[in-house]
Amino acid sequence: MTDIFTTPLLTAREAARYLKMPESILDSWLADASQMPLVHAVVPERRGWPRVPFVGIIEAYVLRTLRELGFSMSDIRRAADLARSEFNDQYALASERIATDGIGLFVRVADESLVHGRDRQIAFPEVISEYLTYISWDASGHPARLRLPQFPSEAEVVIDPRFGWGAPVLAKSKVPVEAMVSLWRTGEPISAVAEEYELPADVVENVLRQAA
C-alpha cells in the first residue's frame, strides 16, 4: 500500500514536468535541509530513483501556485510555521489550512477563524482558494489526489497515489496518460486514440499536446 508521506513516487524531473515548473526550482525546494522543509522528500533507494512522495507533490504544487500569485518565500514560510504550531502538522502546505485572497496569506486556526500569516491578527478576507479545488481530500483531511489543471476538464487527468505509481492517469478509467502518448507515437491517428479511450478527438489532441 502506498503511504502518501513515505513512499517515493516520482523523481524531481518527473514531478517538475507534471507540475509544469522548472526542475531546478523543485530541486532547490527538495534540497532544503532544515527540520521543517516546505516540500518534503524521502531518501531514494538508489541515486536517481524516485524521492518525491505524494505529499511532496502536493506541497510543490501549492508552493508553486503561491509563488506564482506573488507571495515571497518568507511570507509562505511564516504562514506554514503558524499552521504547524497550531496543529502540530509538519505538512502544512498539504492541508486546507492556508488560504489567500490574492493579496495576503491566511491560516485557518483551530476555531476555524482566519488569521494573518504575518501578524496572527484575525482577518475576514474574501478567500480565493481556486487552486485548492484541484486537490481532493480524504476523511482525515489529507490530500488524496491532484487534478492537473493544464489538462482539459473533459479528460480530467489526475495524480492519484493509488494508481499509476504517481504518473498522471485519466480519472475515470485510470489509464496512464503515457499509454495514450505511446499509442499515438506508434503512428495511430488522433481519431483512433480518441476512439480507444472514448474521448472527443479535440480533447485527446489537447491531452497529447500537454503530455508529449
Domain definitions of the chain by residue range: 142-212
Look up the pTM and report it. Answer: 0.90
Distances (CA, A) of 59 to 55, 56, 135: 6, 5, 11
Angle between helices 177-185 and 190-197 (to 10 degrees): 150
Determine the angle formed by the axes of helices 190-197 and 201-211, rounding to 10 degrees: 100
| DSSP secondary structure code for residue 125 in this structure | -
What CATH code is assigned to 142-212?
A: 1.10.10
22-46: per-residue pLDDT in tens? 999 999 999 887 778 999 999 999 9
Distance CA 17, CA 203 (A): 20
Q: Find, among 192, 189, 165, 193, the residue nearest to 179 by Cα.
A: 193
Q: What's the pLDDT at 179?
A: 92
Residue pLDDT, tens place only, 52-100: 999 999 999 999 999 998 999 999 999 999 888 888 889 999 988 888 8
* pLDDT digit string, tens, across residues 86-137: 888 899 999 888 888 878 888 888 777 788 877 778 877 666 567 778 999 9
